[in-house]
Amino acid sequence: MNRYTATWGLLLAASGLVMHLLLTALGEETFFMAAVYLPPAQVVSYCIVAAGVLLFASGLATERPRYFGVSAETASRYFGRLALVNGLAAAVFAAPMLVPSLEFPILLTEWPGIYIVIAYTSFLVVGVLGTLAWSVMYRLAPSFFFRDFFDRRSVLVQIVLFEAAIYTVSTVLFLAGYRGASLVDQGQVGSIFVGASMEFSDIPAAVSIFLLIVSVLLGALTILTGKPVQGEV
């Protein structure tokens, strides 16, 4: 039995189920979004559940794989480099604010502009400082948790989930804020229509936040289940 694959299958199926429940709850809260954005997202949740079930079944039918480990120093280096990349990306994201034709200083004074502020702040706090914090956490794992060797696949999955989630939630919130603020600035539509035009960001943002939570839990589990430092018990 391949416990690693089977466990990931269960987690994936559970994630798809939670995603489906989350989407259903969101659909009950917003009228406009439910008719357009909800059905495709629910299909995706069904596919995730199906993939999790297939992965779990394959885990039961295959043998345990060889342990693919990575040292605490290497894992820390992964996240440290990501912090640098995300810092550069934050500078790129801020560059459009210097373009006069985009009118960002004016749009930020409109109420949907708060979405732009939240998007950029979230990327700085989670995307830049968050990856830096994980780099420090892995670096200190041998001293704090007496763990010096971690499953490389889990570390890579954590990175992929973390990066995909923070880029997605920041992008969709940024676009929603810019779109809504532009409509308000034009003064040709009411607040109800403006809110409806921004609802395309609800599902991607909610799912991305869920993925961020999963990546954090995975990171904590990876550290706690790592192999002890040489000579420690």
Predicted confidence at residue 18, as pLDDT, reads 83
Residue ranges making up the domain that contains 29? 1-66
Same domain, 23 and 85: no
Residue 1: inside a domain, yes or no? Answer: yes
Chosen domain end from 15, 40, 66: 66
Say how many domains are in the chain: 2
Predicted confidence at residue 170, as pLDDT, reads 93
Predicted confidence at residue 30, as pLDDT, reads 58
DSSP character string of 137-150: HHHHHHHHT-EEEE
Residue 233: inside a domain, yes or no? Answer: no
Predicted confidence at residue 70, as pLDDT, reads 86
Residue 157: inside a domain, yes or no? Answer: yes
Predicted confidence at residue 169, as pLDDT, reads 93
Can you tell me the distance from the alpha carbon of 36 to that of 41, in angstroms, rounded to the nearest whole number? 10
Please report, in angstroms and rounded to a whole number, the separation of the first and last CA atoms in the chain: 27
Q: What are phi and psi of 187, to 5 degrees?
A: 70, 25
- pLDDT by position in tens, the chain (length 233): 677 778 778 888 888 888 888 777 776 765 555 566 677 777 888 888 898 888 888 878 877 656 567 899 999 999 999 999 999 999 988 887 777 777 777 778 788 888 999 999 999 999 999 999 999 999 999 998 888 889 888 898 899 999 999 999 999 999 999 888 888 887 766 677 777 778 788 788 888 888 898 899 889 988 988 888 654 43
Residue 198: inside a domain, yes or no? Answer: yes
Same domain, 107 and 189: yes
What the block records as the tokens of 97 is 């604010």
Can you tell me the distance from the alpha carbon of 228 to that of 142, in angstroms, rounded to the nearest whole number? 8
Predicted confidence at residue 136, as pLDDT, reads 95
Residue 89: inside a domain, yes or no? Answer: yes
**Of the candidates 133, 108, 136, 106, the residue with the CA atom closest to the CA atom of residue 120:** 108
Same domain, 106 and 123: yes
